[in-house]
Structure 1
């Protein structure tokens, strides 16, 4: 495939990966769909005795809803609009969505109202300490429930091989874990240095500042961070950076 058009996406190995590839294609680029995340449910459910419940992903919402979780009178907060949309689709009310769709943004939105309250944080096993530590420092009694684990799927790493060969024009990372799993897959193939060099020769987009920090830790240069932590904005910005005329 021509290098000039190839954009790697790393969504979970479900419909989100297919949707990501379709979006990249609709923007005029060539998607490389390389699942760097797979979901392993823990069968845990959010607590039902909290004053405030925080959900941080669509996956967490879907697992909670499937288990029949009922928030009762608790205030429900979502980390961003995609999580809020999933809550609404599952017939849950959404009381808080921060302006900045990050853990730090959630802390900013909630800090003034959580002192002395029981706060349930329901998420994956790779959630940021920024959220739980921030709420704790604001005076909340914080409990965390791990709804699912995120692992690297078998067979991932095609994008790392393309990057090492100089055949990847861009990559769109949606979390720190996708960066770590990309590097892990490259290392397993003996291609770590070459893959990172290949990324740095192209365009690297990340969903937000925490992911940018992780990329920098691995020696990956970040070119694109969207104004909002939203995959569609990330994809559009990356494709625009790669080939400005593709989706005009």
Structure 2
């Protein structure tokens, strides 16, 4: 018999809440987190309700999500001769998969980044923004300040699934190691789910004892407004960058 001590069991992977919509995106997000050594808590805080609308006709069309691209493509919309602008690589990739040519992707994958990329190009032009019902006013206001005539089409509404909130209960119990918020709306829906369970204050306290990641400055600002301390904001506003940053941060704790 060996005199060596019995090997210790493997460390329990940190639990990380993820709030992607309840489709392949939540599955992909969970798989990515597992590959980074985390135990994902898949808690969809967003449900997509298509409106049936398609982007309006304009010389420049801005699409701000992969979901919007997919819904427009499913409805048979084509950009034609329009300058097609995608907010980031995931949106651009979805547009290319639909057979469309993407003319512009900003360096910063945010509403502010879109405004910066389009300023100087749209003065006196019509610009169509096609997105969800929770889009930031930063984009519309910024484009108008740049001299554009802006129209907006709501392609889908974002609601909170009835069964959302597992992560809030874990946070309130002190059993959540990290959370990755992917939009201001996921922050709001997390808090609403906690409120319905009567655990909002405890859930916020639990988050503040954990690692909290926000996909970009607007999401971080929303969290801060509600008393949630944000530890991680990646340089690139996409989920993979957020997941890697959160996994790295929780691994150091």
- The DSSP-based 3-state class of the residue aligned with 2:119 is helix
The separation in 1 between residues aligned to 2:99 and 2:80, in whole angstroms, is 13
The separation in 1 between residues aligned to 2:145 and 2:241, in whole angstroms, is 32
Larger Rg: 2
| 1:41 and 2:45 are equivalent in the alignment | no
- For residue 23 of structure 2, the aligned residue among 7, 10, 14 is 14
Superposed CA RMSD in Å reads 1.2
Count of matched residue positions in the alignment of Structure 1 and Structure 2:
243
1:95-151 Cα offsets, whole Å, 9 max, x none, are: 010000000000000010101111000000000000001001111110000000000
Q: TM-score, normalised by structure 2?
A: 0.94
The separation in 2 between residues aligned to 1:34 and 1:132, in whole angstroms, is 31
Which runs of 5 or more structure 1 residues have no equivalent in the other structure?
Answer: none
Q: State the 1:180 CA deviation.
A: 0.3
- Alignment correspondent of 1:52: 60
The separation in 2 between residues aligned to 1:76 and 1:221, in whole angstroms, is 37
| 1:171 and 2:190 are equivalent in the alignment | no
The separation in 1 between residues aligned to 2:240 and 2:184, in whole angstroms, is 18
The separation in 1 between residues aligned to 2:114 and 2:14, in whole angstroms, is 36
Q: State the 1:57 CA deviation.
A: 0.2
The separation in 1 between residues aligned to 2:223 and 2:99, in whole angstroms, is 37
The separation in 1 between residues aligned to 2:126 and 2:19, in whole angstroms, is 35
Q: State the 1:244 CA deviation.
A: 4.3
- Alignment correspondent of 1:151: 159
After the TM superposition, which parts of structure 1 deviate over 4 Å for at least 4 consecutive aligned residues?
none
Aligned 1:35-184 pairs, distance under 5 A: 35-48=44-57, 50-184=58-192
The separation in 2 between residues aligned to 1:228 and 1:121, in whole angstroms, is 22
- Alignment correspondent of 2:215: 207
- Alignment correspondent of 2:249: 241
Which runs of 5 or more structure 2 residues have no equivalent in the other structure?
Answer: 1-10
